[in-house]
Structure 1
Amino acid sequence: MPLTNPVLAELADAFGVSTEFWDWKGRHIEVGDATVIGILAGMGVDASTDESARAALIDHALRPWRRPLPPFTVAQAGQPIRIDVHVPAGSPAWVAVRLEEGGRREGWQVDNYTPDREIDGAWVGEASFELPGDLPLGYHRVVLENGERTFEASLVVTPGFLGFPRAMGARRVWGYAAQLYSVRSSRSWGIGDLADLADLCTWSGTQHFADYLLINPLHAAQPMTPLEPSPYLPTSRRYVNPLYIRPELIPEWATLSEHKRTRIAKIKAGLDHQLEGSEQIRRDPVWEAKMAALRVIYDEGLSEVRTMAKEKFVRGEGRALDQFATWCVLVTEHGMNWREWPVEFRRPSSPEVAAFAASRARDIDFFVWLQWIADDQLREAHSAAKAAGMRVGVMTDLAVGVSTQSAEAWTLGDAFAQHVGVGAPPDHYNQLGQDWGQAPWRPDRLEELSYQPFRAMVAGMLRHSGGLRVDHVMGLFRLWWIPEGLPPTAGAYVRYNHEAMVGILLLEAHRAGALIVGEDLGTVEPWVREYLRGRGVLGTSVAWFESNYDGTPLAPEHYREYCMASVTTHDMPPTAGYLALDHIRLQHRLGILTEDLDEELDLARRGFQTWDRILTERGFLDPECDDVSEKVLAMHRYIVDSPARVLCAALVDAVGDRRTQNQPGTIDEYPNWRVPLSGPDGEPLLLEDVFTSARAARLAAVMNGFSVPVGGCR
């Protein structure tokens, strides 16, 4: 239903709320009043009546005139920069840029014939200045001098184009994608950890000549049980989940007394006994055991040199780390939902929180120490990857957002929209839409904060990685907001300043020498893919989804050069399971299949018959072969035949796993994000088994472009 009030439509446009969209079936949908009013309320804007909406619109229009400088300006390197300033009418103004690395560059005034305006009882004039177009990349400050007063604001100059890191040269790269928690070794504590990551990098780099290892987000989860299993619904994207720490690799382990080592050994033995026979990754007992062991190591204390190293890390992280650690301890006292805490603890800057932090200083320092240790072990993993000859190394994954009960929602306050969630509109895969339970950043507050939270998060993730995959990259352009109390179908898109967010992403990647891949699957406006390609950000091409207008598979030679090409993704079954139609039977069993089972199976079989014909015609598959492992190899030969500069093979495909890690549309009906890496028979595999997998070796040979004979039926 269209909006009933034209003022509401203007207000929605002013705050970036789209009042219409085209759904997955190509139908034009108009957004209703309740949705827009709810979304605006999440940004602190009262649009519940005609009068309040009109007042909010007037206030928004006057906002630039009430500020001497815009709070944030972004520009691409080499482009002219124009800034409008507002000063008392008739007063002088000078504008310059104070550079990040030191120095000053002067701006010059240009024509602006905008009349003076009376604002809040005083006359204000507008003047325009141009800044030099050859400013260096970086985070600078715009300085406005107006008589005896000086004002400052942020200016970021970003790369116009990122492209491939120097380490790649002109060559193509390929790598494995793995859900780290599922890849367990004989030495890990029931879950894949950062030591396993280092070993996986060493194996794939030295034995299979892979150039990167893409892993799931390592974002921090809750600091207490029960833990959220999804790595895509974290409490902080800036910090790491301590669950991935390997206790025995902490340097202080070597200084523990025999008694303390025995104590930790008993903790691990108890955990092993508890997990014995379990068919799933069980995070809760792993967390309890690891925290107990890590506390023993923490209590050992640090040498003078190690103290220096920790203090350097803490200084670099600043106040954000202290607040995150404080939140972790508060959670253990008052529960996960900080909105239900005693009122005095709901604001991180309150005197009561400061008093609490002083009284629990050692507990808070423990959580600070955990982040330092995790950062150290992640650095070691990336170093192992580079030492193994990987040109990219560890590639991390950036989740779309954080949960509404997250540490970031507590520490950043109104930077997040209130009483609004993030999700997705209805599509082919979920016709009821999705509510991911995440809190969205407010575009207006991000501008006022100069995107500092986003910048710090990206810089932290790229500190020890050679690449970053951005899940749902459309989130840098727009997100589907759902007002509290409304279904996902009643949401609307809210636009973000993509020039700022993509620009900062590129600047941090440029500084880190990193590769950026945007997950641009699903409903993505065509111009977005063109924009990202123009900025040197890779897209994502999944063979099952790449198709012509008639639905037939897109020929590999027509794939994009600037993409990460793969056969499957973490939201789909492994290729062996997909070919066996396991996913359709699973959806039917869970009651989320929207069509008749037999019809869906027949439709899928016809699609696979088309694939078999194409793979056979190209010589990638023996026409008489119906062996699943050979079809998996054939599918990977297909993407290798593309011009894509980055290729990706799922580790589950390398070992013949069939079980999906995540079934969208479910929570506990299926063990999402709790499935251990397994072989074709469904039996869990240890990392040591992966090292000796002949099946994985054959897939690696295909990915390296070696001439691997097309096998016949077995």
Structure 2
Amino acid sequence: MSETENTQAVPDGDARSELQQLAAAHGVLTEYQRFGGDTVAVSDATLRAVLSALGVDVGGPQQVSHALRRARDAAWRDVLPPTVVTRHGHEHRIGVHVTDGASVHVWLELDGAEPASRAHAVRPRRDLQQVDEYVEPRDVDGRRVGRATFAVPADVPLGWHTLHALSEGHESTSTLVVTPARLDLGDDLERHQAWGVLVQLYSVRSHTSWGLGDLADLADLAWLTSHRAGADFVAVNPLAAAEPITPMTPSPYLPTSRRFGNPLYVRVEDILETAYLSAADRSLVEWAADPVRDLDASDGPIDRDAVWSAKKAALEVVHTAPRRAARQAAYEEFLAVQGGGLQDFATWCAVTEELAGRPWPAELADPAGPGVTAARERLADRVDFYCWLQWVFDEQKRSAQRTAVESGMRVGIMHDLAVGVHPEGADAWAHADVLATGVGVGAPPDMYNQQGQNWSQPPWNPEALARAGYVPYRDMLRTALRHAGALRVDHILGLFRLWWVPDGMAPTDGAYVRYDHDALIGILCLEAQRAGAHVIGEDLGVFEPWVRDYLADRGVLGTSVLWFEKTDGRLTAPQEYRHLTLATVGTHDMPPTAGYLAGEHVDLRDRLGLLTEDAQVLRSQARAERDVAVRALAEQGLLADNPSEREVVEALHRYLRRSRAALVGVQLVDAVGERRSQNQPGTDTEYPNWKVPLGDSAGNVVLVEDLFDNARLRSLFAAVASGR
């Protein structure tokens, strides 16, 4: 049974306090194992705060007792579970709750097609058979309730279906999702390892960028790395939406919406209508670009605010240009497919723009309320502008993937899904009914973030999300997977459990909240299969050992970072790597490999006051870690005596090419010799996170056109492309 019946069973005679039992009933872990292996008990204060964020009244002992009694009977109050998620090819049994002794008829309305194209179609119906499985009736809220068990056959097709139950003249419905048993990697990738390039797109500029790497640069990068180096994919940072006004949040991992894109990455000149502008309007576009053209060659921090101000002015001009009939029809089809979610997002953008940083009035808090309806009508032109921006973003995203595949890449563009959203963003506003408030998502302490982390992102409320039929989650995935060869899911462990940090508490004072991983992973696999995309889960950090086995069983690739792959204090041998994984030397939260080899990750954290251990001890450990790596490379015959920095970097990547990993990623910063980190976790203004332009070992800017003039890049790519 899928865990979408969200409360957990609490056995009679439980020795824990009622508060702890209540927490367990709602999937809140009362203790956990931290990095290093010791067990930590979660404080009562944290448990109360987390339960409150889940909508549970824990005001006092009486309320806790009442909530616990309700939790024990929660599943019995619903005729049908809110959502049932199954695997194709497996029979699934559903408990149906009706008045004890009453008859019930249960059937399934099949719908494997997209809602937009099948809105008025007659859907096939299939009756479900009751299973002879006796369950003791229960008294719930003064009513004797029985449970009848029905079987969902193994051959129900993949898709989103509707369950119906009719008893005593009352009909109930819920969602049934049939998901793939396993994602197929494909014969080619099963037999032949693929390699690709990992980039922070904003940092990778060209002579024709507007001061920030964009989707046209992405297409060019894919073509160049495929044709000149044989790469099979380009992986990018999340391109999700940011604020429609300045200042714009620099972090691509703190978007205002995970469903929609950031038009900051649109290339204005590549919009078809730009070619047909009048001379006067074309001049307006060119004038808008003038202030940021020189930023492409600047070695200073990326200035998103300047770039967006320039692009927005130009895009407003292009938006007014007439569209041919076919183009207009394509735009209208896009609006229909994206539906109310796009309208809500565009409305949020238009209202945010109008308020210009002022607080949102109470009458605009409800997206379905009369105040928002009036604002949508008043701001209709701006709402259309923000809808149109998503359309042109989608077109250029599609063009980049098409270019990648047509150039010969076996995967194409690998997009990235952030773990959460900005607490004051569009998703937080539109999905307030399924997001928890009063808490932020984060991570407990580990060896690289010894103070823990709070990313300030509101998490899904697992019970509310199930009652919503997982529709917000599904719609987000569908848009994220559009025109993607693969999707990397940041912190995929959060689909199993998430570290919730109550507002006002330190990251060390959080608690894990469990999610229905069968449902979340299953839906992810279903939408990825429909999109023809692979899924890579970033499964680093503190996790339960069975999680990686579960992901592999579902065909979801994991993440292997060379520096973290250790066996008995040594680098894990190439032949011992997991097959279903994306293997890289480092991550974007670490210095590029040249900097890491020099111990600059310790120096930087020491300067920023982020260490909880003696800096000299950590420097000694970093040198020892480098020595271990060099010995492993020498044992593999990949290094001679007294190797140079470049030789060590290349040998590390060749080491991964000898591994069993299905995918190997090369960070572009490693290829050009960059040493600066893109991001230092645990900092905000102390370090220019997500603002570092691509540069070589001396800090000189490297543009897309100049990449293959870089001798170090050519050498590393040749070493990687030559194989093992």
Q: Same fold (TM over 0.5)?
A: yes
Q: Matched residue of 2:445: which SS?
A: coil
Matches within 5 A, 1:90-169: 90-101=101-112, 102-165=123-186, 168=189
Q: Matched residue of 1:415: which SS?
A: coil
Seen in structure 2, the aligned counterparts of structure 1 residues 126 and 336 have a Cα distance that, compared at 3 Å, is farther
* Stretch deviating more after TM superposition (578-587 or 36-45): 578-587
C-alpha displacement at 1:347, in angstroms? 0.8
Partner residue of 1:712? none
Partner residue of 2:443? 424
1:510 paired with 2:529, answer: yes
C-alpha displacement at 1:581, in angstroms? 2.1
Partner deviation per Cα, 1:10-48 (whole Å, 9 max, x = no partner): 110111000000111221110111101100111111112
Partner residue of 2:196? 175
What is the percent sequence identity of the aligned residues?
A: 47
Q: Matched residue of 2:706: which SS?
A: helix
Partner residue of 1:624? 642
Partner residue of 1:279? 300
Kindly indicate whether the alpha-carbon contact (under 8 Å) linking 1:166 and 1:513 is maintained by their aligned counterparts in 2.
no
Partner residue of 2:9? none
Partner residue of 2:115? none
Partner residue of 2:116? none
What is the identity, as a one-letter code, of the residue corresponding to 1:63? A
CA distance in 2, matches of 1:585, 1:379: 42
Q: Matched residue of 2:431: which SS?
A: helix
Partner residue of 1:552? 570
Partner deviation per Cα, 1:140-175 (whole Å, 9 max, x = no partner): 111212254332211111111114146646321110
Matches within 5 A, 1:419-498: 419-498=438-517
* Stretch deviating more after TM superposition (393-402 or 684-693): 684-693
C-alpha displacement at 1:423, in angstroms? 0.6
TM-score scaled by structure 2? 0.94
Partner residue of 2:554? 535
What is the identity, as a one-letter code, of the residue corresponding to 1:219? A
Equivalent residue in structure 1 for 2:617, among 580, 599, 610: 599
Partner residue of 2:673? 656
C-alpha displacement at 1:610, in angstroms? 2.1
* Stretch deviating more after TM superposition (696-705 or 402-411): 696-705
* Stretch deviating more after TM superposition (482-491 or 376-385): 482-491
Matches within 5 A, 1:399-410: 399-410=418-429
C-alpha displacement at 1:117, in angstroms? 4.0
CA distance in 2, matches of 1:185, 1:381: 15
CA distance in 2, matches of 1:512, 1:700: 30
What is the identity, as a one-letter code, of the residue corresponding to 1:604? A
Equivalent residue in structure 2 for 1:635, among 652, 667, 678: 652
CA distance in 1, matches of 2:15, 2:371: 46
Kindly indicate whether the alpha-carbon contact (under 8 Å) linking 1:81 and 1:131 is maintained by their aligned counterparts in 2.
yes
Partner deviation per Cα, 1:85-144 (whole Å, 9 max, x = no partner): 122333321112221144222211122433444444444332111121111111111121
Kindly indicate whether the alpha-carbon contact (under 8 Å) linking 2:452 and 2:508 is maintained by their aligned counterparts in 1.
yes
Q: Matched residue of 2:566: which SS?
A: coil
Question: How many residue pairs align between the two structures?
Answer: 701
Q: Matched residue of 1:85: which SS?
A: strand
Kindly indicate whether the alpha-carbon contact (under 8 Å) linking 2:211 and 2:295 is maintained by their aligned counterparts in 1.
no
Q: Matched residue of 2:498: which SS?
A: strand
1:665 paired with 2:682, answer: yes
Partner deviation per Cα, 1:213-249 (whole Å, 9 max, x = no partner): 1100011111111111110111100000110000000
Seen in structure 2, the aligned counterparts of structure 1 residues 45 and 336 have a Cα distance that, compared at 3 Å, is farther
What is the identity, as a one-letter code, of the residue corresponding to 1:570? H
Partner residue of 1:334? 355
Equivalent residue in structure 1 for 2:379, among 360, 370, 378: 360
Partner deviation per Cα, 1:591-621 (whole Å, 9 max, x = no partner): 2233333333222122212222221222111
* Stretch deviating more after TM superposition (233-242 or 608-617): 608-617
CA distance in 2, matches of 1:121, 1:597: 64
Partner residue of 2:584? 566
Q: Matched residue of 1:414: which SS?
A: coil
What is the identity, as a one-letter code, of the residue corresponding to 2:685? D
What is the identity, as a one-letter code, of the residue corresponding to 1:615? L
Partner deviation per Cα, 1:40-69 (whole Å, 9 max, x = no partner): 111111112111111112222333232221
1:522 paired with 2:541, answer: yes
What is the identity, as a one-letter code, of the residue corresponding to 1:651? L
Partner residue of 1:323? 344
What is the identity, as a one-letter code, of the residue corresponding to 1:675? V
Kindly indicate whether the alpha-carbon contact (under 8 Å) linking 1:165 and 1:514 is maintained by their aligned counterparts in 2.
no
Seen in structure 2, the aligned counterparts of structure 1 residues 386 and 527 have a Cα distance that, compared at 3 Å, is same
1:247 paired with 2:268, answer: yes
Partner residue of 1:311? 332
CA distance in 1, matches of 2:164, 2:15: 44
C-alpha displacement at 1:702, in angstroms? 2.0
Equivalent residue in structure 2 for 1:21, among 16, 32, 37: 32
CA distance in 2, matches of 1:65, 1:19: 25
What is the identity, as a one-letter code, of the residue corresponding to 1:365? D
Kindly indicate whether the alpha-carbon contact (under 8 Å) linking 1:112 and 1:126 is maintained by their aligned counterparts in 2.
no
Partner residue of 1:42? 53
Kindly indicate whether the alpha-carbon contact (under 8 Å) linking 2:241 and 2:262 is maintained by their aligned counterparts in 1.
yes
Kindly indicate whether the alpha-carbon contact (under 8 Å) linking 1:279 and 1:676 is maintained by their aligned counterparts in 2.
yes
Equivalent residue in structure 1 for 2:362, among 343, 348, 356: 343
* Stretch deviating more after TM superposition (639-648 or 271-280): 271-280
Partner residue of 2:4? none
Q: Matched residue of 2:432: which SS?
A: helix
Seen in structure 2, the aligned counterparts of structure 1 residues 250 and 554 have a Cα distance that, compared at 3 Å, is same
CA distance in 1, matches of 2:137, 2:702: 72
Equivalent residue in structure 1 for 2:222, among 201, 210, 214: 201
Partner residue of 1:711? none
Q: Matched residue of 1:469: which SS?
A: strand
CA distance in 2, matches of 1:491, 1:695: 44
CA distance in 1, matches of 2:528, 2:382: 35
Kindly indicate whether the alpha-carbon contact (under 8 Å) linking 2:209 and 2:296 is maintained by their aligned counterparts in 1.
no
Partner deviation per Cα, 1:490-536 (whole Å, 9 max, x = no partner): 10000000000000111111112211111111211111011111111
What is the identity, as a one-letter code, of the residue corresponding to 2:306? P
Partner residue of 1:582? 600
Equivalent residue in structure 2 for 1:229, among 244, 250, 257: 250
CA distance in 1, matches of 2:673, 2:315: 35
CA distance in 2, matches of 1:248, 1:328: 23
Kindly indicate whether the alpha-carbon contact (under 8 Å) linking 2:212 and 2:296 is maintained by their aligned counterparts in 1.
no
Kindly indicate whether the alpha-carbon contact (under 8 Å) linking 1:165 and 1:513 is maintained by their aligned counterparts in 2.
no
Q: Matched residue of 2:563: which SS?
A: coil
CA distance in 2, matches of 1:404, 1:447: 21
* Stretch deviating more after TM superposition (601-610 or 528-537): 601-610
What is the identity, as a one-letter code, of the residue corresponding to 2:593? T
Partner deviation per Cα, 1:277-316 (whole Å, 9 max, x = no partner): 5511110011111100000100123222211111100100
C-alpha displacement at 1:409, in angstroms? 1.0
Kindly indicate whether the alpha-carbon contact (under 8 Å) linking 1:4 and 1:33 is maintained by their aligned counterparts in 2.
no
Give the superposed CA RMSD.
Answer: 1.8
Kindly indicate whether the alpha-carbon contact (under 8 Å) linking 2:163 and 2:176 is maintained by their aligned counterparts in 1.
yes
1:674 paired with 2:691, answer: yes
Stretches of structure 2 lacking an aligned partner (at least 5 in a row): 1-13, 113-122
Stretches of structure 1 lacking an aligned partner (at least 5 in a row): 708-714
What is the identity, as a one-letter code, of the residue corresponding to 1:676? P
Equivalent residue in structure 2 for 1:267, among 277, 288, 292: 288
C-alpha displacement at 1:336, in angstroms? 5.6
Partner residue of 2:712? 695
CA distance in 1, matches of 2:477, 2:433: 20
Q: Matched residue of 1:413: which SS?
A: coil
